[in-house]
Amino acid sequence: MSTHPLGASVTAALERRIGELLAEMTITEKIGQMRQVDVAEAGDPRELHEAIRAGRIGSVLNAVDVASVNELQRMAVRRSRLGIPLLIGRDVIHGFRTVFPIPLGQAATWSPGLVREGAKIAAHEAASTGVNWTFAPMIDISRDPRWGRIAESFGEDPYLTGVLGTAMVKGFQGDDLAGIGSIAACAKHFAGYGASESGRDYNTTNIPENELRNVYLVPFKAAIDAGVATVMASFSELDGVPASGNRFLMTGILRDEWQFDGFVVSDWGSIEQLTVHGFAASEKEAAYEAASAGVNMEMASRAYDRYLAGLVETGRVSLQQIDSMVSDILRTKFRLGLFENPFTDPSSYAAIANGHNLQVAKQAALQSVVLLENRNNALPLARDALRSLAVIGPLADAPRDQLGTWIFDGDPAISQTPLSAIRKLVGDGVAVNYARAMENSRSRSLDGFAAAIDAAKASDAVVVFLGEESILSGEARSRAGIDLPGSQADLVRVLKATGKPLVAVILAGRPLTLGNVLDEVDALLYAWHPGTMGGPAIAELLFGIESPSGKLPVTFPRVVGQVPVYYAHKNTGKPATPETFVHIDEVHARQSSSGMTSSHLDAGFEPLYPFGFGRSYTRFSYSEIEVSAAQLGPDEPLTVRALVRNDGDVEADEIVQLYVRDLVGSVTRPVKELKRFERVRLKAGERRAVSFRLEPGDLAFHGRDMKLKTEPGDFHVWIGGSSAADLRAEFTIAEFTIVGE
């Protein structure tokens, strides 16, 4: 008998309750628990109520009116034969009414505590309307910025994604899944969705098992260990087998290897889409493949509803298999406390979008913004020296767009925009000259440029807000080119021509290629889509009330042709370095592989900005790295220590990062891997020792035999402010360590 990681023991008493309930259920009622219905597509509400009373529905999607939700629960609990409560699902991705930065922006905070608190707030706000299940966190490793759903991710790194994904799970689910304000989390999309070819949503993925286990499954295992209640299957296929019909993933890994005892839900219509993939010849066969793989619940479509009973009757799907899958769903409902408390009393919850919630959203936005450039200390702006400031651009006063993607319940009316926040912060002492310049971020019209130029000329400095509208990122919002859309680059050039100090603030759902504007601006802040309180956060950073502290959770390419580009790449047999990169300057260069290295002739081998990068209004230096032992025996931990100093005159946060390289392995290992990080705050001139503890299991990987082990050999370890850190020490591991055995 296993113990649930959150502390809710899977006791014999609970399993007995599940068994007794199953024994009373008809096959129709069992299959009903495996069906999720969207209220918007359910048609006549009376028909929905009747289906619930008949036990033919186990979950409802997108109901957020508390009175309506309570009525649906009343149908299930008091009017149905067995009184089984409903799961009420909703996409609560990065906030409910109070919207936090997009997950990629939250990842830039490198702050698990803030991520957890944001999810807790979102859970409480959603739960007050009757929602008890969210489809987050999305923990797909995302290394292609063309993919629109990179906005929903925590970026490119398995360790960072695992830490932040775990924090979000704990925020949603709380210390007690049955507690007030706790909702079930859902780790998605299982698995490999972020590797979609060419960054096109829903596209094919081909991932060797070694790469799958060492990269893409890592954060999912962390979420399972953290007690995530549910998992969602990916839309995509993996090595020719769509995830919604992939027994290797859903049963082999998730249940057999990881002992997951929650349940798996399909993505929207992904079971019937098995026929479109060409994996199933009919909807009936799709139901068979998904059930056989181990997908417990079907979202939106009706293959299970229509065909599972017949598949059981003919013996193709066993009743034992159905009982096992339904048990997982019932177990989750029991853990949520729905049998005891199915109804929602809004008076039990704090007011939505209250002062505390907004303050946490502001703090998340503050820590998410990344300072990419600051030439000649153009930032922070000095309020005392400014008489006037131009605020320009289509995203300076766009309350809806700053919220980002997947904010069904977000309220633009409570958004505080950069324009309004700047005006409030500077008061009457600084004239704010505002010009929208463009109708939206995609506009190619130059009609608004004249007003923007006039505003710039009439001002001491210019802040231009650029980027992407929210609709340009998220699901089905992939882009082949990731330059600033529309005429934004032209806008930057005409503003530069005014000769005024020019600061750019970019709001976007993905990394953008910035080469066509980078040399034109004096400073560049990357603010992602920062959520409800993005405006005050950006204003305070612009004027130096706080120093930027965000670090990139994803590598920024110079040009889109470098994609995929990520820090934890393999070395290859011909690695490029600044010393070995070959420029072809001759008209008729000799064709030879001698001296050639892995790079692009026209883009080099380095990204525009590396993973983990982010500037500050001060300077941090690193020195005196030490390891606790030069050679480690089996099961012996390692402590790595370095000194960090604030060399400037501004108190600020620094995110100290530790990276490791395993020099030789049974399979090749990345050139660097993030293993630890810590946010520290240092006063001007302060020096502090920062230490990290590594266990042998932290250095483990799946080798040729797909077993997880730490192999003996030599290692390098770095501590610094980004993945480009060069302060290095070395150590050796003497013996193999098998992990988990």
CB neighbour list of residue 292: distance below 8 Å, 6 or more residues apart: 245, 247, 317, 321
**Are residues 165 and 111 in contact, defined by beta-carbon separation less than 8 angstroms?**
no
Q: How far apart are CA 440 and CA 123, in angstroms?
A: 32
**Are residues 424 and 353 in contact, defined by beta-carbon separation less than 8 angstroms?**
no
**526: its two tokens:** 């990357």
**Are residues 662 and 700 in contact, defined by beta-carbon separation less than 8 angstroms?**
no
Q: What is the 3-class SS of 44-95, one letter each residue? A: CHHHHHHHHHCCCCCEEECCCCHHHHHHHHHHHHHHCCCCCCCEEEECCCCE
Q: How far apart are CA 639 and CA 124, in angstroms?
A: 39
Length of the chain: 741
CA angle in degrees (0–180, nearest 5) for 118-121-122: 85
**Are residues 546 and 540 in contact, defined by beta-carbon separation less than 8 angstroms?**
yes
H/E element, 272: none
**Are residues 192 and 209 in contact, defined by beta-carbon separation less than 8 angstroms?**
no
Q: What is the 3-class SS of 370-430, one letter each residue? A: EEEEEHHHCCCCCHHHCCEEEEECCCCCCCCHHHCCCCCCCCHHHCCCHHHHHHHHHHHHC
**393: its two tokens:** 């651009």
196: left (phi over 0), alpha (psi -120 to 50) or beta: beta
> Cβ of 706: how many Cβ atoms within 10 Å?
12
**687: its two tokens:** 């020096």
**Are residues 460 and 389 in contact, defined by beta-carbon separation less than 8 angstroms?**
yes
DSSP type of residue 112? H
Active-site pick, 91, 140, 144, 267: 267
Say which residue the tokens 């790449």 belong to.
569
Q: How far apart are CA 38 and CA 299, in angstroms?
A: 8
**Are residues 109 and 367 in contact, defined by beta-carbon separation less than 8 angstroms?**
yes
Is 267 noted as a catalytic residue in this protein? yes
- Cis ω on the peptide bond leading into residue 412 (within 30° of 0)? no
Q: How far apart are CA 158 and CA 143, in angstroms?
A: 11
**Are residues 567 and 215 in contact, defined by beta-carbon separation less than 8 angstroms?**
no
Q: How far apart are CA 262 and CA 331, in angstroms?
A: 7
Q: How far apart are CA 652 and CA 336, in angstroms?
A: 41
Q: How far apart are CA 692 and CA 679, in angstroms?
A: 12
C-alpha torsion sign, points 651, 655, 661, 662: positive
**Are residues 275 and 283 in contact, defined by beta-carbon separation less than 8 angstroms?**
yes
Q: How far apart are CA 401 and CA 397, in angstroms?
A: 9
The catalytic residue positions are: 267
